[in-house]
Structure 1
Amino acid sequence: MTNDGRIKSIQTAFELIEGLEQLDGARASTLADHVDKPVSTVHDYLQTLEQIQYVTKHDNVYRPGTRFLEIGEAERVKRPLYQVAEPELTSLAEETGELATLMVEEHGKGVLLDIEEGEAAIQLHTYPGVRMPLHTSALGKAILAHLPEERVDEIIDEHGLTAMTKNTVTERDRLDDQLEDAREQGFVIDRGERIDGVLCLAAPILGRQDLVLGAICVCSPASRIDNDEDLERIRDAVMRTANMIQVNLNYSDTR
């Protein structure tokens, strides 16, 4: 066990699994070089992970297995937020014709919990489970705006304010101003802060006592939302959907 209470063997196993994902599959020797561990150690771990069906092996190349998908999907569909939000998010995508997404915060990162595509949805090559720094997206800032200030401090201290594009907010004072605006307006817009040329508008989902449960957003090519009327249409649809999810969640809690 390490000084901070971590069990070293478990940490090593997950470092190897993450390494396989980063390398898009690898032989034991390649993975050993990647994680800077002895080949014999890596080989023993991989053999065990294969035996318990968490990695696969073909032509001596190891890859993460679909057991992770099985566990992750089972956890996702059990969440009340997903159960309530998924049909509303589908309707939002259909109404706007755009890409609609749902995010939650976990360990200080934003995690996409659901993605629904409208008829003209932009293709961002993303998928449920993708993690991203909260400060780089409208979704993340909608969540940050409603977290306790001390929690925001912890997240920024741990993860920093790294730039994803030239438009990413990397100054704490400017971020704080945006979070204050988000609380007052009830929505957040990011213009190419995570992906160049993409505009996203997000609103938080709040539970009882204004506890932030997540956020939803609509993303579109910025060129397609080029006037106030289009922006207001998207804003109204997102805020109405967020409110519907909140009402349905609160109702389900009382049954």
Structure 2
Amino acid sequence: MTATATPDGAGSLAKMLNILQLFSETEPVWSTAAIIEALETSRSTGYRYIKTLHEAGLLSSARNGYYTLGPRIIEMDLQIRLTDPLLLASHGVLEELVEKIGHSALLCTAFRDSVLCVGEHRAPSSPANRFSRGQRRPLFQGAVSKVILAHLPHHRLKAIYARQGKEIENAGLGATWSEFRATLGEMKKAGYVLTVGEFNPGVYSVAAPILTDQKTALGSVGVAWDENQRRDVEVEHAVLAVKQAAATMSERLLEQQRD
């Protein structure tokens, strides 16, 4: 694995921060030598980057010459949990949504060309979510992703289509820019997205957008259930509950701005 290449304008800071992207669930510990090799930089520059991140608390020394992600990231996560407007707007809403339909609820937001889960509330005795806080999914698959995609600003959609037109076509969202826009237009008009079996056979997913005052999506709220395990879930009831949850969070975000 190599760190992502950066343009000259991004400079050494961007390349240094790319070190953090090397760490993953499958590769949580990296040696100094491996980091420098992945960066494709000089030893002196690599050592300087590692030293800077370590002093900032973004890297932690696991043992001599080996590093993991650092404790400052945990502090930052707590700050996000306490102050993020989207999370603040969701307080009590996900719990109420679970009570209404009896299955776990997710809160998501766009992150680069993907969607990131930022919050969840699990129903009692429910299995662990296949998608939970801190995990990403493609922007073109799943209800929580597609409903955000449909409400992104026009200029951003144009940029996404230019980069990933083939992926969009493969996802069944349109073989041309016009078809893509028409598909997203139908999603916006409906105010929600329902998918079945896009990640796992027989799994229904419903999501609605959390909107800014400009009617673009800051995030989405959604629920999912397996029809083989939960035949008592009424789709129309789930759609109404999810749309109401999204509307409540959208209104709370507007109230935060007024305050």
Equivalent residues in 2 for 1:119-130 (5 A)?
Answer: 119-130=124-135
Q: Percent identity?
A: 24
Superposition TM-score, scaled by structure 2 size = 0.80
Distance 1:98 1:161, change over 3 A: farther
Counterpart residue number, 1:66: 71
Counterpart of 1:241? 245
Structure 2: how far apart are the matches of 1:249 and 1:213? 10
Match of 2:141 among 136, 140, 146: 136
Q: 1:156 aligns with which of 155, 161, 172?
A: 161
- Determine if contact 1:205/1:213 at 8 Å carries over to the other structure: yes
Q: Alignment partner for residue 183 of structure 1, among 182, 188, 209?
A: 188
Report the AA paired with residue 107 of structure 1: R
Q: Which amino acid aligns with 2:159?
A: E
- 5+ residue gaps, structure 2, are 1-5
Q: Distance in 1 between matches of 2:127 and 2:157?
A: 30
Letter in 2 for 1:101: L
- Alignment CA distance shift 1:176-1:198 (3 Å): farther
Equivalent in 59, 83, 94 of residue 99 of structure 2: 94
Which residue identity does 1:16 align to in structure 2? I
C-alpha deviation, 1:144, in angstroms? 1.7
Q: Counterpart of 1:31?
A: 35
Deviation at 1:205, TM superposition (A): 1.7
Stretches of 4+ aligned residues off by more than 6 angstroms: none
TM-score, normalised via structure 1 length: 0.81
Corresponding residue to 2:19 among 9, 16, 21: 16
Residues 120 and 182 of structure 1, relative CA distance in 2, 3 Å threshold: farther
**C-alpha contact (below 8 Å) 2:15/2:39 kept by paired residues:** no
Instruction: Please give the residue correspondences for 1:221-240 in structure 2 after superposition, counting only pairs within 5 Å.
Output: 221-224=226-229, 230-240=234-244
- Alpha carbons of structure 1 residues 201 and 172: separation in structure 2 relative to 1, 3 Å: farther
Output the CA distance in 2 between the equivalents of 1:216 and 1:237.
10
Give yes or no for contact 1:204–1:242 (8 Å, CA) kept in 2: yes
Distance across 1 between alignment mates of 2:137 and 2:101: 24
Q: Deviation per CA, 1:15-43, whole angstroms, max 9, x where unpaired?
A: 22211336221212233344444455433
Across the aligned residues of Structure 1 and Structure 2, the Cα RMSD in angstroms comes to: 2.9
Structure 2 CA distance, aligned partners of 1:125 and 1:56?
29
**3-state SS in 1 of match to 2:137:** strand
